[in-house]
Structure 1
Amino acid sequence: MGANKLFESNDRGNSWHEISGDLTRNIDRNKFKIMGKYWPAGAVAKDVSTSQWGTIVSLAESPVKEGLVVVGIDDGVIQITGDDGKTWNKTTQFPGVPEYTYVSDVFPSNFDENVIFASFNNTKSDDFNAYLLKTTDKGKTWTSIAGDLPKEPVHTVAQDPVNKNLLFAGTEFGFYFTLDGGHHWIKLGAGMPDIAVRDIAIQKEWKDLVIATFGRGFYILDDYSALRQLSADKLNNTKAILFPARDALMYIQQGDRYGTGSAWFQAPNPPFGANFTYYVKEVPQTLKQQRLKKEKELFKKGEPIPQPTKEELDKEKNETGPYFVFVIKNDKGEVVRRLYKPAAKGIHRVNWDLRYVSPQPVRLKNKEFNPLANGSDGMLALPGKYTVEMELYHNGQEKPLAGPVSFTAKVLHNTTLPANDRQALDAFFSEMSDLWRTMSGAQQYLNSLKTKTAYVQQAIQITPAATLAMKDKAQAVKEEIEKINYLFHGTPAKASFEEVPPEPMPLMKRLNEAVYASWQSTSAPTEMQKMNLKIVKDAMPDVLARIKKVDTELKTLDKELDALKAPYTPGRIPEL
């Protein structure tokens, strides 16, 4: 603990003892001029709202050398001891740093006891330059590693525990990292505002980077280990990189607390499942981007700009991609999921939530094809070994970019009733998903037939030459659809299902009970689930046959309507 002296506790803070004398400059601040004058004790607001001067404000112990302690003081002094405070080396002059500059942070190297990093902040003297220094001889000499940091006061500095050239710096307006020990700095600004970063912490086991800001809370970059793999040479000479992925932990997520109002705050958890970090140097431009770039250049030069033809505009409109495809395969080499992301250069992430794709009917947004839609989630995937590969899709061609990278989906040992045979559970999921696909698709198709039947009945009603037999046939089709729909859903409940009078259990209700019981569970299927699944599976062939018969009868009515030159109805192409 620091004051003007350094204190040590060997009993978790129960008692403290000095291990140094006064480590500051020990200068009376009243001997400095303020606004060009010396001020008496009675001056208005003298020393009010002013921090103490001559105080240790940064403190760190070397992780590689016991007894090596570094302190930074607000009067511009750095003191270093290598013997637990018995002797100290004092430095008051630093190259390029004004005297008395506040030592905002000190950081002994994770690799070499002779290397120490220090940041300085001279904001109180209207100096907003970035001061970041390094010593390789325990403070005897110092050199600047501020490199190309912008003109922003530096609050804190840290070094990666694996890659000695990977450094981090928190400034008044953001957070930066360097891959080359401080020559070139890169801002890490995605997802956070321009705010003062006052402290940095690294969770070594999970490789998480944590920063504390002034007034905007904490920010966590989960698994930043991809930065350790980078170098200036790799960034310049590699087209694409798919970084190693850490194990994906499998567990059942819990929902938020309910009804806490403003009494409970929590930040979002890291994305559940497998997270993949990737880097792409460049991505191909679309035809429209290429045209706009040429037009911009011609406009600047004041030269004529060719107008695009209709054919060229049509090509731009119909162009597909570019976008990234992440192909996930199991240990048998079978593709279990494809994930899509917009093509963008730089470092990005994509997440797989460890679920297979849903077998539910396809849904469109605004009735248009979306190449970036990943589909809804289905059942949990099987634990075990997987690989992920990265491809680029553009105009009908898929180009491999990076991978495969291996990762493991690993079950946490915290389940109450774990399935003894996960392979058997996965097989049950597969059987249930296939039945889910068939049944939900059949239900969707039945709904379309119901709508089509209404159009056909209306066309028969308004066509003068239509016969009574056609009306009766259409009505019979409508009633058959209602009967099949009853098998699926039963009698609609006014409020809740238990209010419906006793009747056969609807097939969709049985399937839902089987699916939802496993949706948030890793337990083996119950006998009730197996029973419900068997009942639905046995009933579906007859249901499908009845739906196909309805479809055939509607097509027959379509031909009769077209022969009578009836108005158009959906699903029927009018003949001349």
Structure 2
Amino acid sequence: MSVITTSVHLLLLSFLFLGQPKYAIAQKKKNQKNTESAESLSDSALYHGLQLRNIGPFRGGRSVAVSGVIQKPHVYYMGSTGGGVWKTEDSGISWKNISDGSFKTGSVGDIAVAESDPNVIYVGMGEHAIRGVMTTHGDGIYKSTDAGSTWQQMGLDKTRHISDVIVHPQNPDIVYVAAQGAAHGPTEDRGIYKSTDGGATWEKILFVDENTGASGLSMDMTNPRILYAAMWEHQRYPWTVKSGGPGSAIYKSTDSGETWEKLTEGLPEEMGKVGVSVSRANPERVWANIEAEEGGVYRSDNGGKEWTLVSDDRITRARAWYYTEVFADPQNPEIVYVLNAPMLKSIDGGKNFAPVPTPHGDNHDLWINPHNNQQMINGNDGGANVSFNAGKSWSTQENQPTVQFYRVITDNRFPYYVYGGQQDNSTVAIASRTAEDGIGWKDWYAVSGGESAFLAFDEDDPQLVYGGSYQGNISVYDHATNMTKDIMAYPVIGLGSIPKEMKYRFNWNAPIVMSQHDKKTIYHGANLVLKSTDGGLSWDEISPDLTRNDTTKQGVGGGPFINEGAGGENYNTLAYMIESPHQAGVLWTGSDDGLVHVTLDGGQNWKNVTPSGAEEGIINAIEVSPHNASTAYITLIRYKLNDFAPYVYKTTDNGESWTEINQGFDEEDFVRVVREDPKRKDLLYAGTEGGMYISYDGGQQWNAFSLNLPVCPINDITFRNNDMVIATSGRGFWILDDVGALQQGAENLADASLKLFEPKPTYLLDVPVPEEPVPGMGQNPMNGVIIDYFLQEEVPDSVLITMEVLNANGKVLREYDNQKDESFKKYPGGPGPKPVLPAKAGINRFAWDFRTSSIPNVPDVFVNGDYRGYVVPPGDYQIRLALGEETQTVNCTILPDPRLDATDADYAAQEKILAAIEKNVKEIHQSVNAMRKAKDQVKSINAILKDMEGKEVLVDTGKALISRIEDWEENLIQPKQKTFQDVINFPNQLNAELLNLKSRVGSHAPQPTEGAQQRLDDLLAEWKTHKTAMKQIIDVELAAFNQLYLEQNIPAVILPLPEEAPEAGK
């Protein structure tokens, strides 16, 4: 072999136990600009790192809009009455919201998928089952041409409530809309609309009058020129619902809506709400569900010319304003469905109806596949459910986070629980976090009261929970027995009663308050204030009537055909009540007719402190400032009087004078609640019909602050452990963990390049959070200490940001930076990627997971263990953030889990063992890596010398050394394991045993066992033996190999040359 040689030193093991290199910190030039600075940041960009989490519960809320796709039997759409549009592609096993970020309102009235093109979807906004409470209006029509991936608003903004959208079966550009119109006042934006250009323009093709809207529309799908429209004269007042009058009627068009004929033959002379449906199986057969004195289910067998009452069963028309829906089976003309409570089905042409059990009792919408009448989707007050056997069984509704909550209150347990009453369901107490992947069904339960409940309890000892329901019902739930007791002050049924004849008039959402100063005192608001000091066994009236007490507005709750006596129309009642946190006996009340009263002496004297000039409306919330006993805020809402403007008032003198503080709200985004930050004076949060706002100056100016909240009404806000907890109408409970950055002046950082905010004291609960939320479960908080920091500009990857965690002695326990490890390779049984600090302009959020630095791995070796560092004990720590030459440090406190009986000594003993394990595993892995590199060098040398004459002894020595290293290594790691199943196939070696012991000792309860200490002693003794063997290999065998190598005088570089080619002809 011919070679070319050069001389260099051969260095072996020079890398053994070398430390990691330190990063140098680069800094931008001061005049260098990046993408966006704090001065130009909008609130949404400034606070991009502050993200709320939805905790659920995953139990469906109201839905009055559903649809399916003829060509795709597993694809369906659901419209929530506050939560937007949802889609399932697996027949209801899972649902995904597809309207967030595109829609400006969240209440859905109807959904229509074009039969000729399933990519085309039209959504009519504004629920059509218009309740007196928990009803939200919409903003017209939205359209998608890509099956819901993107949306465009298509006008009809002022229609408010849409009952039906019908798409031509052959032409997706021809679409009809039944606009029910405003619920609370006259409007000309009602009637039937038509578009022939896919919604680009609209023509009103049927209009009766400003009080009559379209409650339904049905098309003959075999002849789409034929339409039937149900028109409904109606209006909701705060004290009654008018459902019916001369305007209510059924109309028919045979020329695509150009002209209309009013149908009368056989129908009641005067009607209320009407539902209509034409049979696809027999287009001459038309069904109508009619509210009237002679109401019920009507049928026509000649295209509407003549009608016959086929069923006057009262269940088909009960509570007509809320239901009155009829659906013809598309394949069998004898089958018809009527939706009410319950869902009803007739198989004999409407003569007899039988209930069809559904997951929730109150039913509002039904879509039946015209090609398969066994396949359907039902929308009800518990969400949407799919059936493939005509309603014999249904998919679950327990996977839809569309709950409508009225109010929110929290206790002081750990983790704290969040409470509220769900519309059309029970009350809920749900954990704010869990020790699992998410917050599931087992993490919440029902307590006292019902759907409309205010709840009250001792936050430090919530054994007894007081909860209300409509018509003044109130009960107390005992956690010890899981039982409830009725404690109504004057027990009556209430339902169907005339309010002016009642002893007490209660709001649908009657306030209940427990005194913060005397936990034995409970207040219950009727038209006056009731007080109990014995757990509700007796009640005293401590106020006069605190409402306008207008008896002309205390009559029947509905008419002219059907009374609405559930309690939602009770008027001249107290809607809100709050006790001052500063002084016992100071109590504020607000009525649903706009009056505000306050007592300073426990109810002996009351003063009307209603703001001068404030109009009649609902005092929906009162907030007494936590910082000033004389300062209070009230929110007045007037949507029930067709006024959607925001009204917020502030007093600094106990109501002697008031100032309106409405600057910055959208003109129709009325405000439901205002809360003041518990730590920072004048920092206010407002929940509105469409989202959240924030004010930094006591309400002088408001700015949008919805962050990642979906568009939906925000009904209530509270705080616990420095978290903001929010109740929505349509999307359940949400939590913004740690509002510390807002309290520490995040909005005033125009001149700062860097700001590190001090995190709140954090309870030690180590629960890794999945990268993506688990379907069907509420989200847990980020795992660890949540750390917020502000950057003036976005920091590029070329500039280093570092974060260090230090203990009380100043020792660095953990280091982070903004550099992604491009060399990282994921493999089974290996470590995860290193966390990377976000570096956007504005506030960034990061979490230190309570752990020390990760343990180095042996590349490509599977270990059934956790490479993460150990969890530190409770105590005081510091967070240090550095950007260039600027460094900021804040304190950080970790609190012990209050549920544990553990001492500082217990945590210290745990840490001592964990630190020892971590130190030795790190040493083992570094040793193996070092010996592997030595082995690789020997292999490389042998590969070069194996064919050279006179090098046989060196090669054989090298082979022996390689074998010796491999034998040594096999005692420390198990390279044969490639998957978790291999842990039962190949023996686990020393590193795995130590990591296993680490996971056992590192449990949440810190006290180490005697067995753990004994096992550690044995494992460390074993490592000591192998460490001695390693020293023997290095000092003797490797040294001998190096010496032999040097004695051979072998060049450091050996370059083989090609053999010389023979001459031609030889």
TM-score calculated relative to the size of structure 2 = 0.40
Within 5 Å, give how 1:72-151 maps onto structure 2.
72-90=590-608, 94-95=612-613, 99-151=615-667
Partner of 2:786: 275
Q: How much does 1:172 deviate? A: 1.6
The reply on whether 1:543 has 2:1030 as its aligned counterpart is: yes
Native 8 Å contact 1:135 1:143 kept in 2:
yes
Partner of 1:330: 807
Partner of 1:488: 972
Could you tell me which amino acid in structure 1 is paired with residue 745 of structure 2?
L
Could you tell me which amino acid in structure 2 is paired with residue 168 of structure 1?
Y
Change in 2 beyond 3 A, CA 1:446/1:149: farther
Partner of 1:389: 880
Of 123-132 and 53-62, deviating more is 123-132
The reply on whether 1:320 has 2:792 as its aligned counterpart is: no
For residues 159 and 342 of structure 1, the distance between their equivalents in structure 2, rounded to whole angstroms, comes to 30
- 1:12-46 deviation per Cα after TM superposition (whole angstroms, max 9, x unaligned): 222223223332222356699xxxxxx99425787
Partner of 1:185: 702
Change in 2 beyond 3 A, CA 1:47/1:92: farther
Change in 2 beyond 3 A, CA 1:11/1:170: same
Partner SS state of residue 12, structure 1: coil
Structure 2 unaligned segments of length 5 or more: list them. 1-523, 818-836, 861-865, 1059-1066
Of 150-159 and 407-416, deviating more is 407-416
- 1:241-275 deviation per Cα after TM superposition (whole angstroms, max 9, x unaligned): 33334444446x4799xxxx99x966515633x33
For residues 676 and 1026 of structure 2, the distance between their equivalents in structure 1, rounded to whole angstroms, comes to 65
For residues 565 and 511 of structure 1, the distance between their equivalents in structure 2, rounded to whole angstroms, comes to 51
Partner SS state of residue 806, structure 2: strand
For residues 70 and 51 of structure 1, the distance between their equivalents in structure 2, rounded to whole angstroms, comes to 23
For residues 386 and 47 of structure 1, the distance between their equivalents in structure 2, rounded to whole angstroms, comes to 60
Q: How much does 1:442 deviate? A: 3.8
For residues 581 and 975 of structure 2, the distance between their equivalents in structure 1, rounded to whole angstroms, comes to 71
Select 2:682's aligned residue among 165, 170, 173. Answer: 165
Q: How much does 1:482 deviate? A: 4.5
Partner SS state of residue 146, structure 1: coil
For residues 31 and 422 of structure 1, the distance between their equivalents in structure 2, rounded to whole angstroms, comes to 64
Structure 1 unaligned segments of length 5 or more: list them. 33-38, 287-318, 365-374, 393-397, 567-576
Native 8 Å contact 1:357 1:376 kept in 2:
no
Partner of 1:200: 717
Change in 2 beyond 3 A, CA 1:171/1:452: farther
For residues 478 and 88 of structure 1, the distance between their equivalents in structure 2, rounded to whole angstroms, comes to 93
Native 8 Å contact 2:633 2:648 kept in 1:
yes
Within 5 Å, give how 1:50-65 maps onto structure 2.
51-65=569-583
Partner of 2:541: 18
The reply on whether 1:563 has 2:1055 as its aligned counterpart is: yes
The reply on whether 1:42 has 2:545 as its aligned counterpart is: no
Partner SS state of residue 886, structure 2: strand
For residues 421 and 71 of structure 1, the distance between their equivalents in structure 2, rounded to whole angstroms, comes to 51
For residues 519 and 231 of structure 1, the distance between their equivalents in structure 2, rounded to whole angstroms, comes to 37
Partner of 1:339: 816
Within 5 Å, give how 1:499-538 maps onto structure 2.
506-520=989-1003, 522-523=1006-1007, 526-538=1013-1025
Native 8 Å contact 2:788 2:846 kept in 1:
yes
Within 5 Å, give how 1:202-221 maps onto structure 2.
202-203=719-720, 206-221=721-736
Q: How much does 1:474 deviate? A: 7.8
Native 8 Å contact 1:510 1:536 kept in 2:
no
For residues 320 and 154 of structure 1, the distance between their equivalents in structure 2, rounded to whole angstroms, comes to 46
Native 8 Å contact 1:324 1:342 kept in 2:
no
Native 8 Å contact 1:131 1:153 kept in 2:
yes
Report which structure shows greater RCO (CA 8 Å, sep ≥6).
Answer: 2
Change in 2 beyond 3 A, CA 1:277/1:239: same
Partner of 1:370: none
For residues 18 and 140 of structure 1, the distance between their equivalents in structure 2, rounded to whole angstroms, comes to 25
Within 5 Å, give how 1:251-266 maps onto structure 2.
253=766
Partner SS state of residue 999, structure 2: helix
Partner SS state of residue 535, structure 1: helix
Select 1:240's aligned residue among 754, 762, 768. Answer: 754
Higher strand share: 2
Select 2:737's aligned residue among 188, 208, 222. Answer: 222
Change in 2 beyond 3 A, CA 1:142/1:231: farther
Higher helix share: 1
Q: How much does 1:200 deviate? A: 1.8
Partner of 1:295: none
Native 8 Å contact 2:838 2:845 kept in 1:
no
The reply on whether 1:377 has 2:891 as its aligned counterpart is: no
For residues 546 and 2 of structure 1, the distance between their equivalents in structure 2, rounded to whole angstroms, comes to 84
Native 8 Å contact 1:419 1:425 kept in 2:
no
Native 8 Å contact 1:179 1:231 kept in 2:
no
For residues 412 and 89 of structure 1, the distance between their equivalents in structure 2, rounded to whole angstroms, comes to 46
Of 437-446 and 160-169, deviating more is 437-446
- 1:115-155 deviation per Cα after TM superposition (whole angstroms, max 9, x unaligned): 32100122233433221111233334321122223331111
- 1:388-419 deviation per Cα after TM superposition (whole angstroms, max 9, x unaligned): 22211xxxxx22242x2233445457667868
Within 5 Å, give how 1:444-459 maps onto structure 2.
444=929
For residues 500 and 284 of structure 1, the distance between their equivalents in structure 2, rounded to whole angstroms, comes to 49
Partner of 2:848: 352
Change in 2 beyond 3 A, CA 1:541/1:190: farther
Partner SS state of residue 971, structure 2: helix
Change in 2 beyond 3 A, CA 1:457/1:29: farther
Change in 2 beyond 3 A, CA 1:485/1:243: closer
Change in 2 beyond 3 A, CA 1:490/1:337: closer
Partner SS state of residue 24, structure 1: coil
Q: How much does 1:94 deviate? A: 4.5
Select 1:439's aligned residue among 915, 920, 924. Answer: 924
For residues 148 and 506 of structure 1, the distance between their equivalents in structure 2, rounded to whole angstroms, comes to 66
- 1:54-111 deviation per Cα after TM superposition (whole angstroms, max 9, x unaligned): 221111122234333222222222233333334433356644x5x2222211123334
For residues 88 and 406 of structure 1, the distance between their equivalents in structure 2, rounded to whole angstroms, comes to 47
Q: How much does 1:175 deviate? A: 2.4
Partner SS state of residue 1022, structure 2: helix
Seq. identity, %: 24
Could you tell me which amino acid in structure 2 is paired with residue 153 of structure 1?
F
Q: How much does 1:211 deviate? A: 1.7
For residues 92 and 385 of structure 1, the distance between their equivalents in structure 2, rounded to whole angstroms, comes to 49
The reply on whether 1:3 has 2:532 as its aligned counterpart is: no
